[in-house]
A and B are shown apart, each in its own frame.
Chain A
């Protein structure tokens, strides 16, 4: 249970990190918060030649609120997102999602970018990025590009990053103040991997749905955006719509798998229930407010 030997480099700038990754040609592994990578190193499931520690790069940290949305540095700790008062108002879905990652002790080290880039299928943050329409900024010595979160995830732990590319920011577009947050996770115990869950946001004007962004986690090889269900909601009256019909449509787009903890059928059944209930509960809370 000890890591195999490796070289360790802790660059102090993004340029330096990109240069190292470019030179390493795929032999390097990036260390962010380490709350997933360190177990893999300890178990020797990962044996990199070079470990590139991003913890010294100040430019990769921090939360900036702009007119168009929120830019989060990938090395921002999960606990910092949870404690951020502006995010609690602007993007409560992101805060709720972060509160469900691992445990207090792992959120103190674990980072936003680490979770986003890893792409664990049952993880909260990748689905949140997909649901809210985030864009992922990545950089290499070849240049900078922006990848929509919806195109970033290719399979379990597989993403659109090239070996020399580094995530340098996650940009969440603005959602109007007063939008409605959707979040529900089903797990065996607090802090466990989610069996499944859904996250998103909807906007209502004149008692009609005018904007919706909803995604599943734990319901397939990647986060899955409930695109068809969102389309069903748009333009519908909040008083007349049938949450169960929308939920059935949302589940139809998923591809859950069987594992030790739950069957695919269990995930679909529970998914139908939580989707409809979360939508109804959020609207009921909104009416009370």
Chain B
């Protein structure tokens, strides 16, 4: 199983959880690993670099001969009004959130095609459907991931590979630690289930999508909290 962005937050929790359950987990992030565990291998890399992704996935394919699941969690956000957002910030967000997702999907799917089996889960966000002010570029990048995922699912269907989307509600991770509490409260109060998301909520959705029995579930999105 490949999981991107595993140094902290949701990615780290997913990596620790699945490694503990016996999966062979290959994780990556820009920085060094923040934890160690049996069954977990960490790679430091810039996931938006095509050669880095190719080399990472080639190495995994050579070591293990297969890839069953990909959880594309890595992302960066920058909460800022569009009128105060530099082009470099927008481009970096698109590179990490969109291009990197495409690269990991592309190269992992090539390995999955050998066995005509694969489960890919790409991470999106509720800030796209709820239209949260201050997150325009981040939401736009995740909207691109959503469109990419739905179409990629159709491109992969013939090879038994599913590709789905997961959108979490706010979870207390580093990504939102700088967001004012009243902003978070306003988002939570607009949900059907009025609570923050939890790390185990994320595991639960991933469990469903990566289940071998979910072979007829593709191009779908699941949001937490009642968002649709």
Report whether chain A binds chain B.
Answer: no
**B contact set with A: CB distance below 8 Å:** none
A residues near B (Cβ < 8 Å) are none
